A and B are shown apart, each in its own frame.
Chain A
């Protein structure tokens, strides 16, 4: 990846963080931590990888994304708005009655959302089904999925892990947002996930572990994952919960937190809102 591309993606990621914080800050409460930790992977996918079309959100041969950690929807909504799937003004309607942007992803409400999620542990199974349909339909797309680290404690993920390997879903590329924090504490104190990449590997997946905030590492890992044809890929992302948000970064309480006007002002200033 050249420097220009990298800087461009970094700038986009900054914009995603600003839009997401404004969106959550407008309501005054929301899932800040887990939205911030996946900003780079989402930015990479939507600005450097995925074949999607804002004018035709259900385009047949588009790449699919299942955001299984559905509570991080606000980060994805910011990108979808920036790409033109819907007007940016929608972002300020987050979680208001009648909104098209509910706290957890909803395929029937939001253009560009491929699967409804919110009950943790279910998205990867759906991604397996989508990948099977892709194979039956003989389309050329890939299926991406993002699951959380706390979410990985749900047993259904490991059922899905086995089925994806059994069905040789080489076009399925999943990411784990390994930010090491969950609602009740550090993952290692609550229910340790340890070397997650080894678990996936032993389930028959191609597994990598990278810095989830590093665009060059993301590009390299996705490139490597795409070389797999007969087995699914897991890219474990070492991330920081609340990354880039002054009041939430690396804070245990950031899963779902109140955001005051002062918090928002300070965080946006730190992100250089209004600067180019």
Chain B
């Protein structure tokens, strides 16, 4: 069993902070949840907990950034996005600063915290911020690589971070580039474009199910939702003629929305979108919720078959 995603997040920051003294970590009373206490232990001067005050956290992070610091500020995705949207929009992004805002517990992974804590809209909101880079790592290897890329990237980012659990989809020496999706499985009949810790493994399972039905499905890990890897999406739209997007988020505004916008303008292609269909969150286990919101591998495979049927 590898490290938890959140441990990878914190350990990576601790490691980067050794060389880069500008790295700071901010929390709004969720240090215990994000798992950043170990950063505080190693770098107490560069760790700031502002209490239950997410708006202040993002404002303070912006001020730190104005002086050249590289702040990583985290909260549950609901609060990181909805509660701080104006602060992040204006003090961080409009001001062209370098704030890495981390929204944890994406979508259904909020589980027992339920509908009040279940972000299905954060990617959509963040996509509206001009120039903002949005990422969602799918496993511990990409998590470490993308956190390193985030620290190097000059500009604000929204990082959608799964907290609990571990999964290694990639070999340790896999290269990642912001804005470039990774093809995990090649295929000819349909392309499944997925993002995040929950949906990328489901997409891989769906490809297996489809294979048993004689359907060749490509699977892409779209770890960067903005800027979208337009070229990769268009290449696979042309190659396979059918696309299914998978996200642990509303289908409107997120990855599915981004892909739909691109395809409509550049290469109209039959498309199906997996994710919450304009619904609020609710309490439940991951197992219950993934079925409830029709996001399982079986749901993806079914969607793929229906999209393939729309090909001319």
Contact = CB atoms under 8 A, between A and B. Distances in A.
Contacts, number: 107
Contact of B64 (A129, A155, A159, A163): A129
A125 B66 contact: no
Contact of B90 (A114, A118, A137, A167): A118
Contacts of B96: 107-108
A136 B90 contact: no
B244 to A, nearest CB: 39
A163 B50 contact: yes
A130 B65 CA distance: 8
Contact of A115 (B48, B55, B60, B63): B63
Interface string B33-77: 000000000000110101101011011111111111101000000
Given A118-B90, A159-B53, A159-B56, A108 B63 contact: no
Given A108-B96, A116-B91, A132-B48, A163 B53 contact: yes
Interface string B88-106: 0011001110000000000
B56 A132 contact: no
Contacts of B90: 116, 118-119, 122
Contact of A133 (B55, B67, B87): B67
B91 A133 contact: no
A126 B91 contact: yes
Interface residues of A, number: 31
Contacts of B69: 129, 133, 136
What does DSSP make chain B's interface, helix, strand, loop or mixed? helix
Nearest to A121: B55
A114 B65 CA distance: 12
What does DSSP make chain A's interface, helix, strand, loop or mixed? helix
Contact of B59 (A129, A162, A167): A129
B86 interface: yes
Contacts of B58: 125
Nearest to B63: A129
B67 A125 contact: no
B95 A133 contact: no
19 contacts: A107-B96, A115-B62, A115-B95, A122-B91, A125-B59, A125-B62, A125-B91, A126-B63, A128-B56, A129-B60, A129-B67, A130-B64, A133-B64, A137-B67, A159-B53, A160-B56, A162-B51, A163-B48, A163-B56
> Nearest 4 pairs between A and B by C-beta?
A129-B63, A125-B59, A133-B67, A159-B56
Given A127-B63, A131-B63, 12 more contacts: A66-B63, A107-B95, A107-B96, A108-B95, A116-B94, A118-B90, A119-B90, A125-B58, A129-B71, A156-B55, A159-B55, A163-B50
